């Protein structure tokens, strides 16, 4: 059984269905997904954020934003990571987000953290190791503090980043907040 079959995600309703997004592209040449590539994400015409494509289909989103596109990508090498998530391939392949360069994957990102899977029907938790694909049973306490295993749409990630910088709970994490109420943001808003 594939992970995506185990972990359904809620998709935000918008003006485009999934097939339309897959067919979308602002150029005729589709991008390849290569580990180490740096992705630039424009946010509401206000600022830019960056992520790095990791091995095994995950992306590390950096706690860094700038009003102008970043000229020196090496500035990202020492930035903290907001979160590591699975991202749908079509977002890069269809140029919804731009690849702007490539950097070596930092040592702390070589091995990805465990994630958890929660089955609402059985109230059971599992650990998912994205490095090996291994899924093992666990307790709720063992899942505490981990990211939930899922694959995210671009609008969901952009909402999550926007909410982080505005110190708001992310709507896409509402079930996670119900399972782990202590994980709601409590830091002051960033100006």
> Is residue 164, in this structure, part of any structural domain at all?
yes
Confidence of residue 107 (pLDDT cuts 50, 70, 90): very high
Instruction: Write the pLDDT tens digit of every residue in 122-161.
Output: 999 999 999 999 999 999 999 999 999 999 999 999 999 9
Name the average pLDDT for the chain.
85
Are 89 and 96 in contact, with CB atoms under 8 Å apart?
A: no
CA gap 79, 20 in Å, rounded: 35
> Is residue 72, in this structure, part of any structural domain at all?
yes
**In this structure, what DSSP letter does residue 125 have?**
E
Give Cα separations from 186 to 24, 106, 182 (angstroms): 38, 28, 9
CA gap 62, 38 in Å, rounded: 10
CA gap 55, 33 in Å, rounded: 10
126: nearest Cα among 116, 140, 112: 116
Does the structure show a pLDDT above 90 at 184?
no
Rounded average pLDDT over 87-114: 95
> Is residue 53, in this structure, part of any structural domain at all?
yes
What pTM, to 2 d.p., does this model score?
0.81
Rounded average pLDDT over 85-97: 94
Among 9-18, 144-153, 174-183, the range scoring the smallest mean pLDDT is: 9-18
Q: What is the pLDDT of residue 103?
A: 97
**In this structure, what DSSP letter does residue 113 have?**
P
Q: What is the pLDDT of residue 18?
A: 53
Confidence of residue 170 (pLDDT cuts 50, 70, 90): very high
Q: What is the pLDDT of residue 10?
A: 35
Residue spans of alpha helices (H) in 103-153: 140-143
Beta-strand pair 98-102/81-87: unpaired
Q: Which domain holds residue 173?
A: 3-183
The count of structural domains within the chain is: 1
CA gap 91, 74 in Å, rounded: 24
Q: How many residues does the chain have?
A: 191
Does the structure show a pLDDT above 90 at 96?
yes
């Amino acid at each position: 059984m594939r992970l995506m079959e185990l972990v359904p995600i809620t998709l935000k309703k918008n003006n485009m269905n999934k097939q339309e997004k897959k067919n979308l592209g602002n150029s005729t040449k589709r991008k390849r997904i290569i580990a180490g590539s740096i992705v630039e994400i424009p946010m509401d015409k206000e600022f830019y954020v960056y992520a790095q494509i990791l091995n095994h289909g995950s992306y590390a989103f950096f706690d860094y934003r700038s009003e102008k596109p970043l000229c020196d990508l090496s500035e990202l090498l020492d930035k903290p990571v907001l979160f590591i998530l699975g991202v749908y391939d079509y977002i890069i392949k269809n140029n919804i987000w731009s690849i702007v360069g490539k950097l070596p994957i930092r040592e702390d990102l070589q091995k990805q953290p465990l994630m958890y899977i929660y089955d609402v029907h059985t109230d059971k938790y599992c650990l998912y190791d994205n490095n090996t694909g291994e899924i093992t049973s666990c307790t709720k306490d063992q899942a505490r503090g981990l990211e939930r295993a899922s694959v995210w749409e671009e609008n969901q990630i952009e909402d999550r980043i926007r909410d982080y910088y505005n110190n708001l709970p992310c709507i896409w994490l509402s079930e996670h907040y119900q399972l782990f109420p202590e994980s709601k943001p409590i830091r002051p808003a960033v100006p």
